[in-house]
A and B are shown apart, each in its own frame.
Chain A
Amino acid sequence: MTSPDSRGLPPDSELKRDMPLVPPDSIAGRALIVVIAIMTFLACLTAGGAILVAEASEGWRAEVSRDVTIQVKPRPGEDADTLVAAAAAIAASAPGVADVHAYSNAESEKLLAPWLGEGFDLGQLPIPRLIIVHMQSGRRDDLQPLREALSARAPEANLDDHRQWLARLDTMANAVVVFAAALFALMIVAMATAIGFATRGAMAGAREIIEVLHFVGATDSYVARQFQGHFLRLGLRGAAIGGMAAALFFALAALFSGWGGQSAGGEEIASLFGAFELGALGYIAILAICLGIAGLTGFLSRQIVFRQLRSLL
């Protein structure tokens, strides 16, 4: 046991003196932590989902814009293999082309097997043959020499640069990101409202404390600081819980998508969200959201406390 000092004062360890002026634990406080944790979790999921879609759509765009397709439609009596070989040769010699792959008869039949079944004769059907051309870059201008060469030397070949498909992808990805941003904004508004109600509730519960603080000479800004600190601590606890839950969710989702990636559903999800790996940017965003929400909680409570204090004498 520590002994008193020479003036007979009790030592630090024997004197309780650090209790905040606003009681740290109350039912309203715990309820607010739960609300903030849930809202932070949902906000992080929304933001993380938007980041995943945005990153995945960048990937799709880069992938799709570098690939173009040449469709060769042989007229009756023409030998499809010869035309395909000629068009592939033109493509291979065009500037900016990295790789050319002409689908063989067997590959084309395999491609169509899910719709037409096994063992059909592709030569009997008016189906174009495909040549996949992988460009060195995704720039549209690089396609012009290839387009001109095909038009001059292989008029039965048609170049598809996937522009329409890309435009749809762009629209869809942007719509998802805008929707996520709107959802995020709504959640922030809902959370701000919840914080406002909780602060007013806590103020009502702490009215006697505020009166006593006033009577013993506390200024409004001092009282407001006590409440701001209290709500900042609640906000940090709630945001930390929600943020960690969201980070855990994304980590587990990445793990499970790795395991389930071989299934048909897994491939669909992987094509939309990539490998579900959030990356450093995503986790930084989660941290920023947590800090932002805690700060918002402290700021809003200060404003509300000041407004209510102004109404007291």
Chain B
Amino acid sequence: MLRFENVGLRYGIGPEVVRDLNFDIAPQSFQFLTGPSGAGKTTMLRLMLLSLRPTRGAIRIFGEDAASLDKDAITALRRRIGVVFQDFRLLDHLTTYENVALPLRVMERSESGYRAEVVELLRWVGLGDRMNALPPVLSGGEKQRAAIARALIVRPELLLADEPTGNVDPSLARRLLRLFVELHKSGTAVVIATHDLGLMDQFGYARRLVVGDGQLKVFEGDSL
């Protein structure tokens, strides 16, 4: 569903921040993207989300060559991708309910048509009593769950999560991870960027995409 072929990226005339990236993300797969801080994990996620264009190489996503896509086509593809940002990126003037419903709202679906889905998901992630709260009054864990719920609401084929457990305590981190596993079991390909080795060890079957010095090494789950 997603393939990188000799992908490299440089900003301006600087050195390549990532280079020679060759890997693919299969449907219904589960993988961690890991590496030291500043190694390029977020950059790789942005390349996967098509919010950055590679300076060389090719990215194929859902069978399309990313270089040939116009903005509307990219938008259509993004509707098949869920993304959880490291800093949550919740809109502070919208309630938790409105933030989670945002992907459906921008598809111009009627509010009465999606209310049940959103409320059910909010209850599932434990935010049933925080639906009218604004992000500034939510705790770090609540924001994290709201951001995850927003990514899941469209039942994405591919989920990209950047340090989704970085701001929560270990027990909540495990709960959130279980949430991703549930999603994976229901057929979504999951890519989780993290540098938490303990967390990855709990899911030994997952692939590991290890980025360092701008290059990528892939370790299949079985080889661990």
- Chain A binding site: helix, strand, loop or mixed by DSSP? loop
B89 touching A212, Cβ below 8 Å? yes
Q: B107 at the A/B interface (Cβ < 8 Å)?
A: yes
In the complex, what's the smallest C-beta–C-beta distance from A1 to chain B, in angstroms? 14
Give the distance in Å from the alpha carbon of A218 to the alpha carbon of B71 in the complex. Answer: 10
B contacts, CB < 8 Å to A: 49-53, 71-72, 74-76, 78-79, 83, 85, 89, 91, 93-95, 97-98, 101-103, 105-108, 111, 115-116, 119, 131-132, 150, 154
Q: Which residue of B lies closest to A206 (CB)?
A: B91
Q: A61 at the A/B interface (Cβ < 8 Å)?
A: no
Question: Taking A9-B116, A21-B91, A313-B50 as contacts, is the C-beta distance between A15 and B97 under 8 angstroms?
Answer: yes
Scoring A15, A17, A215, A219 by chain B CB atoms within 10 A of each residue's CB, the highest score goes to A215
- 24 residue pairs A–B, Cβ–Cβ below 8 Å: A7-B116, A9-B115, A9-B116, A9-B119, A15-B132, A16-B97, A16-B132, A17-B97, A17-B98, A19-B95, A21-B105, A208-B89, A213-B102, A214-B75, A214-B78, A215-B78, A216-B83, A216-B106, A217-B154, A219-B71, A222-B108, A310-B71, A313-B51, A313-B53
**Quick one: which of A205-234 are within 8 Å of B by CB?**
208-209, 211-220, 222
Question: Taking A16-B98, A214-B78 as contacts, is the C-beta distance between A209 and B91 under 8 angstroms?
Answer: yes
- Which bucket holds chain A's interface residue count? 20 to 34
Give the distance in Å from the alpha carbon of A216 to the alpha carbon of B115 in the complex. Answer: 18
Instruction: Give every chain A residue within 8 A of B97 (Cβ-Cβ).
Output: 15-17
A217 touching B51, Cβ below 8 Å? no
Q: Map CB proximity to B onto A12-29 as digits: 1 under 8 Å, 0 otherwise.
A: 001111010101000000
Give the distance in Å from the alpha carbon of A272 to the alpha carbon of B199 in the complex. Answer: 85
Q: A213-B106, A217-B78, A313-B74 are known contacts; what are 16 more A-B pairs with Cβ within 8 Å?
A: A7-B116, A9-B119, A16-B95, A16-B97, A16-B98, A16-B132, A17-B98, A19-B93, A208-B89, A211-B89, A214-B78, A215-B83, A215-B89, A216-B83, A313-B53, A313-B71
Give the distance in Å from the alpha carbon of A215 to the alpha carbon of B48 in the complex. Answer: 12
Give the distance in Å from the alpha carbon of A9 to the alpha carbon of B128 in the complex. Answer: 10
The 3 A-B residue pairs with the shortest CB-CB distance, nearest first, are A217-B79, A218-B106, A216-B103
A220 touching B71, Cβ below 8 Å? yes
Q: A201 at the A/B interface (Cβ < 8 Å)?
A: no
Give the distance in Å from the alpha carbon of A217 to the alpha carbon of B106 in the complex. Answer: 7
Q: A155 at the A/B interface (Cβ < 8 Å)?
A: no
Instruction: Give every chain A residue within 8 A of B89 (Cβ-Cβ).
Output: 208, 211-212, 215
Scoring B71, B95, B106 by chain A CB atoms within 10 A of each residue's CB, the highest score goes to B106
B119 touching A10, Cβ below 8 Å? yes
Q: Which of A23, A208, A217 contacts B103 (CB 8 A)?
A: A217
Q: Which of A7, A10, A19, A213 contacts B131 (CB 8 A)?
A: A10
Instruction: Give every chain B residue within 8 A of A313 (Cβ-Cβ).
Output: 50-53, 71, 74
Give the distance in Å from the alpha carbon of A23 to the alpha carbon of B105 in the complex. Answer: 16
Instruction: Give every chain B residue within 8 A of A209 (Cβ-Cβ).
Output: 91
Q: Which of B91, B93, B98, B107 contacts A217 (CB 8 A)?
A: B107
Q: Which of B50, B51, B75, B98 contacts A19 (CB 8 A)?
A: B98
Instruction: Give every chain A residue within 8 A of B108 (Cβ-Cβ).
Output: 222
A219 touching B116, Cβ below 8 Å? no
In the complex, what's the smallest C-beta–C-beta distance from A27 to chain B, in angstroms? 14
Give the distance in Å from the alpha carbon of A17 to the alpha carbon of B96 in the complex. Answer: 10
Give the distance in Å from the alpha carbon of A310 to the alpha carbon of B72 in the complex. Answer: 11
In the complex, what's the smallest C-beta–C-beta distance from A309 to chain B, in angstroms? 8
Give the distance in Å from the alpha carbon of A15 to the alpha carbon of B115 in the complex. Answer: 10
Give the distance in Å from the alpha carbon of A184 to the alpha carbon of B93 in the complex. Answer: 38
Instruction: Give every chain A residue within 8 A of B105 (Cβ-Cβ).
Output: 21
Give the distance in Å from the alpha carbon of A14 to the alpha carbon of B129 in the complex. Answer: 11
In the complex, what's the smallest C-beta–C-beta distance from B52 to chain A, in angstroms? 7
